[in-house]
Structure 1
Amino acid sequence: MENSMRIGFYHDSIGTKHAGGIAVYARQLAVELSSSNEVYVYTQDGDMAHDLTASHAEVVTTPNFDVPAFEMLSSLPLPISSQPLTKLAMIAWSSYGDVIDHINEHVDVLICFNMPDDLLLSNLVDVPTIRGFLSDVSGGVGTAAHKRYTTTDTNFAISPYLADHVSNSLGYAVDEVVLPGLDTDQFHENAEPAFSCDRPSILFVGRLIEAKGIFDLLDAVAMLEEPVHLRIIGTGHAESEVRRRCRELGIKDDVTLEGEVSHGELPGYYTAADVFCLPTHVDSFAMVNLEAMGCGTPVVTTDLEAIKTYLTPDENGVVVPPGDTDALETALSELLLDPARRQVLGARSRDRARQFSWSQQAARLERLCAVAIGEEGTEPKHKAKAESIPP
């Protein structure tokens, strides 16, 4: 592509079908930018997502280090979990293989999305690096070491809330906010429902960890007077505890644990549910809320600043304080008993979700890449679609 930038994306699971929210975010930006720039995606080998393989991006893979041997290490008394170990293994292989050489030869700017990748790669490659802050990180020894040794000068965050946190609490300069977008061709109200139920249904999508509020949701469901069906999508280290809690609360027969579901299958689950609920305790954006909204499913979630980026309480969704199971039970009960309100909230949330465009956000990231390589002010190649952009 004449006069286009050469942009690299580095993330261990950005290419796989079953990637989590951060990886999906990175992948969507890579796919969008590949229409107007040379894009290289560096990721571990695996079952690649169709939208990536069908795009103009070139995928460069390392071996898949997310294997049982690394999972076994998480059970040992080590000061690091298996997930960072797989990332470090990928970087080590990249260093001794030809990935670093490939980056230096083919890329003008490299984008990383977590601390270990940025810390090491910013010192290994010969091109400018950009760090994307996508999760609610805390300070500590790791942050102090990263700030001292990283050579990255350009950063962006996934939401205004996270940008403020990263800047004010952690001391990093944030140059841009690049919000998630929504593929409205995929997440829409006409998606074929993935399941049917003879009682009101609640859907949860997320990692099965306490911080996502899954145990609050189980407690609230057990408190509901009317019988409901709870469908849970996701995996995590608390899965066995979730099953145990369902048995203790007497709701085992009312709960279905789907496990992992590919991103492309999610729209049908959103449209099948009467209410989507993510009672998360902490989040930098909570993309699944926006996906549910795009499908016209009313959302009950928590009163977090990051979520207010797209959800206005009682206007296009319902919020409760994190950890307040009584308030959560009340919100769910009232909404499930009021079909008319669900319809109004669903329509409003759908309209709001459509304001979030991957095209607009990719254009922002492209401008930031130009700044990082000293070409700010040049005419952008990526032309954002004429859609309203969230403030």
Structure 2
Amino acid sequence: MSKSKTPNHKTTKNETIVLGLLILIFLVSRTLSLDSDIRTWEKSHYSPIDEFYYTTQTLDIVEGIHAPDGKLLSAQYSAYNIVEQLVTVGTLSVFGDNHFGLTAPSVIAGMIVLILFYLLVLNRFGVAYAASFSLLLISEQSFTLAFRIAEPTIFRMAAAAAILLMLAKQDHTQKNQLRAIGFATCFAWLFIYPTNAFLGLFTLITIATYNQKYILATSHYLTGCVLCVLAYLTNYYLLGYPFSDALTTKSIFSSRAIYETEPSLIKQTHSKLSGINQASIFASYPYFMTISVLSPTLMTLLILTKDKLIARTDKVVFIYCICFLLHCAFINDYPERKLVFLLPIFLYLCLFTANIILGKASAKTSMILGTIAVTASVILLATPTSNNLYKNPQYTYKNPMKELSALDDERVIAGWATVFDCTTITNHT
């Protein structure tokens, strides 16, 4: 069994080589057929129009499809995901106006998620567990799909992973580090996507847990947040809007809540939390739901009893899990695809439980059992991923999109036609 690493553990040469091989596997496998169509709604829970909705500002910048007042950001599509939009501008410039260039930023964000969670698990459990975690992560269908689509979820995961790693490894008593954490948390909210606001609660609870001078620590944390807000206002201004518009944009306050149909708050909350079982990993593999309940239950008991098996990283992940579940009680739209957020946390909790169980066996037995379990799980996860996402790719995105009544038809049709080099723009009647 690999021993837990210390918070200041430095990555060795072998651990770097393993990470390099994982990145190579990731990039080679993830760029195959990247410019193919999104799979059907039944398989992906995505619609092609989603990709236009989340890249409208990119088209504004690259193709000059501006709003009537000449501003780069239209009021209809306020700056929900500034980072993704600007990175997409770069990839379209490098790879050309095609679907590969449109989805390449998601691959980059997926690679960042892989690296950050590798380092997080490496810091806690060692290289064998980190490699196992990474192979399981890149084999699962919902994660693979998330970085093959031009949509913000994978960017949200990258931001959350960065903050998790910062809180797991950094000293929460140093003012500059607290300011950096505050800036990063606010950045994840304002620049990545507004539903990342729950990360603010997560970081505040974590800082309070590990810092006796909570008020002073919070003041340093909030200083970082204020600096990020100023950066956001400046960025928004440079993209064509006055500060007054930036303060009122919907991107600061998320509007992504499910339309309420239940008469009471309790029923509404229950309805949204019940949607967690619709997450792809749980819907596809129901027995994983049982494991996902048992693992945090075990961790809860160990935390309450102050067991020595619990490390700081475990507590940080546990607090994150609780805060994300609270977030789901209020915002849980499209859980089939967006709850891929739970996948790396679920895998971490499984490894936590496995580490305790295998720790009771000899080193040789532990290695054999762990290898068998990981190999079987990778095959189990990778088979449907290959069949559903890579088999028989289709390439029909050079046609203007249909069913565009929810958006401004002229912008949508012109945007898709220009980006994918259509020679004829279909007139909408």
What TM-score, normalized to structure 2?
0.26
Higher relative contact order (CA 8 A, sep 6+): 2
Larger helix percent: 2
